[in-house]
Structure 1
């Protein structure tokens, strides 16, 4: 069994072919962290704990001054009795006091992995689970730390389960999912940060004394910070060195933080953001935290990414899309915005069909009186002025062309200028006596309420059934404000942010179970809610509202740390680009978009004949190599440099595709040989454009010459086939 409990020595050893994770049981009370890293053949406690009489320390046993919770490496924090480092939980009792004393109670080792109630989580057949239950005997509270060890990945997932077996109501003020005390501070912290239209910038900084954290209190995981962090050694690179990576499977407020504390250890904690969070835990009630994916790499960021890519594609997204090819689409947004007519849409669809495009997506503006962003969200009735024959008729005509049909929704929002708001003003999030702050001229529906959840499921189900929708772009274009409602009592108002997320998950679970063949695409003004929680229901995400090829090469590069290209929707848009005004070659726009989930977002009627021919060639090329680009292994070859040049590689058993983007052209550039690194050293490869053959070892170590490029934002592609 891959999880062993040594009762005599008080150790749990979680072990597969790549990693070991050691948990200690100290004094049969305290759960300590002893080791996490490369697999150990066995463990006998060589890295024993050192007990020192620390000045200013408090001691659970007054006769044992060398034993202090404030210096012990723990698997969860304590509260109010000596551990003063960042906390993974906080409970307020019915007296209003914040003291608990959780000690080891029992444990269970089982095969398989339980589904978390009401929350998304990784699946897994080859999983062994360790559940360690701690108990506060004074209040009859249970806290269960769950560890799911994957046999075929260097991955452990963790979550925490709270249960009130007492007779008094208590309040969870902090409900974290993971805490680890690393016995060193010689790490660097890696995060993905950004903003709307500038997501997933890779940041790396040395740990320093105190607390370094990223967080969101916006109601969603946010474009500002991906719910991810990693600890790495200073010498860790793309291909070598250890990476301890942590990713939160949750779509709401979160915190991820590291504290370098006084005695040379680093405490890492991740979970729901405790700011403005509280949960009433009544007698017999439970609270389940979301899970954290722990991913250990011995071979740098590349192995970390390969693990995330594989496990998310196989064990997270809806099962019907694990091996399902994604269609090439045309989205109407940047071509039309809110202004369109049915005849023009059908003309666009016919042009798209003639070019080989497979899916026609009607974006915002098809419902209510939606001529701009000021009205009609919530009124999901077809605007017959724009679509006089109705949505069903349009869908049938699109399907008659041999294309699929997709539709944009923003179900979580409501406009003040809408019939729905006039009928149900209390359905919007609001706080009594305060104005309802608008964002993009819209308010947010209170998804914590089951009747609103059921209403949205009903309305969307009607459209999906009647109009035969193949694809849904699910948008969410603002963050949450005035997080309150008229239903919950005052002592439960701080539950609303989490209840909102749970309500969203309930809606998505019902819709995706009811319509398993519909391709749902996640969007929140691009990457505003791009997280593993959403990916459990929607197998791809509109990566960024910024469709500029140069910006996208950087954004997609950053997101590739965590997600495979098939999950990163990417479109060829018009030039000058609508976000930054840049003009880039159509070839570059095509190759950057093909490096994600490929589509177009431009007015085909305004393209030159030359451009239309090139688009048809891009579509044909992508179809020919779709399996490689969507399901092949993805490797980063060169991080964006000061001139924004970058490179990456796709490969499968027979083909290799390399894309180099030069960014800004420079004078007096040095000679550059791009090393492929990841090819089979013992195989031969033919470069299809020239017909020349090279050994894998030559391409890996000597590299291919990047030609002198006298043009901004150009791209070079090398296409190889493995030969006997």
Structure 2
């Protein structure tokens, strides 16, 4: 017999969590149409079958494959629930099939996660979210990765303007009860348009908080025999405040989603070298950065004929002026210096007239007669890869594998710089708004999965005009991420890294160190730089993520090289902690305030703290280190002086920073 009242509540065991106690019965997903809201679908859906198995090789996880049926519509839903008991998290994904003989019209969604919380009539829920990484302004605090915490709930959406998931908000949300003693987090894996619709309704003496997380921009007809995906969503419960929720989400990502690699130290020339760079410039940079201890050397855009952006699609035609002996020669030189070689592709696009556009016109969709609003450059010359076509994906995967083999690629910056949504909308079948988006997003993930299987040695750096595509599905398929195209202003960049760390591990908060290469970036003369070296703040403001460099190496004196070598060695000694718990130590709203962060491993008691004076008029501050166990003794080592001192968990740390733009950097462990 079908099980009428199946509920995801069965997968969670966390006594004392008030939001879990208020979770109403729900199957977790839904199909919604113009005539059928999610609650109506859930009221009529039944579980037909369920099979469970251990989540090999993870003993604390179980996989539950379920088949549901919805009688009124004739829909069958195949759902995979992955239960992670160690992180109190459930993953939900699946597919909706029209098994009836009639069309299902005006399908909106699909809905990946749908549930309702019941709380006291006079109670409230706190909601925490993070803005996306698109804005590159140098204001402080920056809009990019801005944290928003509210009493009460809000509507969030992303990808509605251009089709990339984090153009506006990020698809992560943390809810806590009003005492901030317990809560839940949600995250959606979808690289395109989405909404998180959270309401506040009083009914029956209770305050009800319905939450619907779904794909956005769809109004389509599901014909008999057709199907649509339920994108993967995550829901997890935790004890503590919103920062505890951030750390619960981060632990879940590290344990169950992210490829197990350390945050890298890398060089990328794009923002540092002049646009007319030559291979001689690259040889100079490679030789010096190898001395400093950099692990990956990345040749970014414009290694191909035609330069950026008109050369997009010339992936098999090198720029002979830049690389007269071929880029293979330079890649071999990079490896000879003990570094790994990487490069850049924007494989999802090709420009009209490019090699791929001429050789493979059937691989692409065009948008003739339309103005390119994203680049404000006249006619839309960009052609979008048909990722919904499995044969096209296979051919592109073949190319990627051959390209990696040719150059010995071990790092790929996978970029995506234009807005796909105008082409999706123009090529949707009549009456099928959102169909191309669904095909494309599924196809993108399928291509990335195929690439990772074929080329497991390659570290993927997710990039989309900086931070326009930082959803969890994209990051699941990346080792690191370029979070924003702002490399100018280190104080805003530090706050951006703080925002990223509130929803994902620090390895996804890439930036590159730039200070003296361009006059408008530095507040220090070149003579002072050569005499005094770098101020510590511009360097260390990038250490809340994977550490990158773009500074022109021609500036480096022997003294500066020694300084950078020390900084990189110290960073490498602590970078594993970027994957552990994160605590923001300050919440500055002005440059005249201190800032800082703490990364802490609760299992070993190890961690590090970096405190920034910024432009604060005072030289002294005190800070509590929330990761430390109260009453436990720890030893702090000053990274700059190597002096050690003891601190007892629960007591305040007094800090003095004499120099403006100075820092204090401590690494610590249990006595």
TM-score bracket relative to the smaller structure: 0.7 to 0.9
Provide the secondary structure at the position in 2 that maps to 1:621.
helix
Question: Which residue in the other structure is 1:216 paired with?
Answer: 159
Question: Which residue in the other structure is 1:398 paired with?
Answer: 334
Question: Which is further off, 640-649 or 325-334?
Answer: 640-649
TM-score, scaled relative to structure 1: 0.79
Structure 1 residue runs of 5 or longer lacking an equivalent are: 22-34, 39-46, 50-71, 91-99, 115-122
1:186 to 108, 124, 145: 124
Matched, 1:200 2:200: no
Q: What displacement does 1:619 show? A: 2.0
Question: Which residue in the other structure is 1:662 paired with?
Answer: 613
Inter-partner Cα distance in structure 2 for 1:590 and 1:497: 40
Matched, 1:304 2:253: no
Question: Which residue in the other structure is 1:646 paired with?
Answer: 595
- Distance of aligned partners of 1:160 and 1:470 in 2 relative to their CA distance in 1, 3 Å threshold: closer
Inter-partner Cα distance in structure 2 for 1:549 and 1:48: 42
- Distance of aligned partners of 1:111 and 1:578 in 2 relative to their CA distance in 1, 3 Å threshold: farther
Q: What displacement does 1:193 show? A: 1.4
Matched, 1:569 2:510: yes
Verify the 8 A CA contact 1:199 1:223 in the aligned structure 2: no
Inter-partner Cα distance in structure 2 for 1:533 and 1:691: 43
Question: Which residue in the other structure is 1:508 paired with?
Answer: 448
Q: What displacement does 1:234 show? A: 3.7
Matched, 1:443 2:382: yes
Q: What displacement does 1:655 show? A: 3.8
Verify the 8 A CA contact 2:73 2:104 in the aligned structure 1: no
- Distance of aligned partners of 1:377 and 1:20 in 2 relative to their CA distance in 1, 3 Å threshold: farther
Provide the secondary structure at the position in 1 that maps to 2:549.
strand
Inter-partner Cα distance in structure 2 for 1:8 and 1:502: 31
Q: What displacement does 1:582 show? A: 6.6
- Distance of aligned partners of 1:126 and 1:690 in 2 relative to their CA distance in 1, 3 Å threshold: closer
Matched, 1:693 2:645: yes
Q: What displacement does 1:536 show? A: 1.9
Question: Which is further off, 226-235 or 478-487?
Answer: 478-487
2:169 to 193, 211, 225: 225
Verify the 8 A CA contact 2:4 2:47 in the aligned structure 1: no
Inter-partner Cα distance in structure 2 for 1:188 and 1:104: 33
Q: Give 1 or 2 for the bigger CA radius of gyration.
A: 1
Q: What displacement does 1:146 show? A: 5.3
**Superposition pairs of residues 11-410 of structure 1, within 5 angstroms:** 14-15=10-11, 18=14, 36-37=19-20, 87=38, 102-108=44-50, 110-112=52-54, 125-129=59-63, 134-143=68-77, 147-159=81-93, 161-171=95-105, 172-184=107-119, 186-194=124-132, 195-197=134-136, 198-207=143-152, 212-217=155-160, 218-236=162-180, 241-263=181-203, 264-273=207-216, 275-278=217-220, 280-283=222-225, 285-318=226-259, 322=260, 324-370=261-307, 372-410=308-346
- Distance of aligned partners of 1:494 and 1:673 in 2 relative to their CA distance in 1, 3 Å threshold: closer
Question: Which residue in the other structure is 2:139 paired with?
Answer: none
Q: What displacement does 1:412 show? A: 1.1
- Distance of aligned partners of 1:130 and 1:530 in 2 relative to their CA distance in 1, 3 Å threshold: same
**Superposition pairs of residues 407-422 of structure 1, within 5 angstroms:** 407-422=343-358
Question: Which residue in the other structure is 1:677 paired with?
Answer: 626
Verify the 8 A CA contact 2:610 2:666 in the aligned structure 1: yes
Verify the 8 A CA contact 1:431 1:485 in the aligned structure 2: no
Q: What displacement does 1:555 show? A: 0.7
Provide the secondary structure at the position in 2 that maps to 1:559.
helix
Provide the secondary structure at the position in 2 that maps to 1:199.
coil
Inter-partner Cα distance in structure 2 for 1:558 and 1:110: 37
Q: Work out the number of aligned pairs and report it.
A: 637
**Superposition pairs of residues 609-620 of structure 1, within 5 angstroms:** 609-620=558-569
Inter-partner Cα distance in structure 2 for 1:573 and 1:201: 22
Q: What displacement does 1:564 show? A: 1.4
Inter-partner Cα distance in structure 2 for 1:366 and 1:89: 55
Provide the secondary structure at the position in 1 that maps to 2:131.
strand
Question: Over residues 674-706 of structure 1, what are the superposed CA-to-partner deviations in whole Å (9 max), with x where a residue is unaligned?
Answer: 1112224333425354644324xx3x3322212
- Distance of aligned partners of 1:582 and 1:289 in 2 relative to their CA distance in 1, 3 Å threshold: farther
Verify the 8 A CA contact 1:243 1:296 in the aligned structure 2: yes
- Distance of aligned partners of 1:592 and 1:148 in 2 relative to their CA distance in 1, 3 Å threshold: same
Provide the secondary structure at the position in 1 that maps to 2:187.
strand
Q: What displacement does 1:440 show? A: 7.2
- Distance of aligned partners of 1:674 and 1:137 in 2 relative to their CA distance in 1, 3 Å threshold: closer
- Distance of aligned partners of 1:124 and 1:250 in 2 relative to their CA distance in 1, 3 Å threshold: farther
Inter-partner Cα distance in structure 2 for 1:215 and 1:632: 28
Q: What displacement does 1:292 show? A: 1.3
Verify the 8 A CA contact 2:483 2:510 in the aligned structure 1: yes
- Distance of aligned partners of 1:718 and 1:525 in 2 relative to their CA distance in 1, 3 Å threshold: same
Inter-partner Cα distance in structure 2 for 1:309 and 1:601: 28
- Distance of aligned partners of 1:242 and 1:641 in 2 relative to their CA distance in 1, 3 Å threshold: farther
Question: Which is further off, 407-416 or 645-654?
Answer: 645-654
Provide the secondary structure at the position in 2 that maps to 1:405.
strand
Inter-partner Cα distance in structure 1 for 2:5 and 2:35: 25
Q: What displacement does 1:454 show? A: 3.3
Provide the secondary structure at the position in 1 that maps to 2:547.
strand
Q: What displacement does 1:453 show? A: 2.5
Q: Which has the higher contact order (CA 8 A, sep 6+)?
A: 2
Inter-partner Cα distance in structure 1 for 2:659 and 2:424: 57
- Distance of aligned partners of 1:89 and 1:379 in 2 relative to their CA distance in 1, 3 Å threshold: farther
Verify the 8 A CA contact 2:366 2:382 in the aligned structure 1: no
Verify the 8 A CA contact 1:660 1:715 in the aligned structure 2: yes
Inter-partner Cα distance in structure 1 for 2:341 and 2:98: 49
Verify the 8 A CA contact 1:473 1:521 in the aligned structure 2: yes
Provide the secondary structure at the position in 2 that maps to 1:306.
helix
- Distance of aligned partners of 1:13 and 1:632 in 2 relative to their CA distance in 1, 3 Å threshold: closer
Q: What displacement does 1:579 show? A: 8.7
Inter-partner Cα distance in structure 1 for 2:246 and 2:438: 29
Structure 2 residue runs of 5 or longer lacking an equivalent are: 137-142
Verify the 8 A CA contact 1:188 1:204 in the aligned structure 2: yes
Verify the 8 A CA contact 1:155 1:293 in the aligned structure 2: yes
Inter-partner Cα distance in structure 1 for 2:5 and 2:355: 67
Inter-partner Cα distance in structure 1 for 2:558 and 2:410: 30
Provide the secondary structure at the position in 1 that maps to 2:150.
strand
Verify the 8 A CA contact 1:574 1:601 in the aligned structure 2: no
- Distance of aligned partners of 1:592 and 1:435 in 2 relative to their CA distance in 1, 3 Å threshold: closer
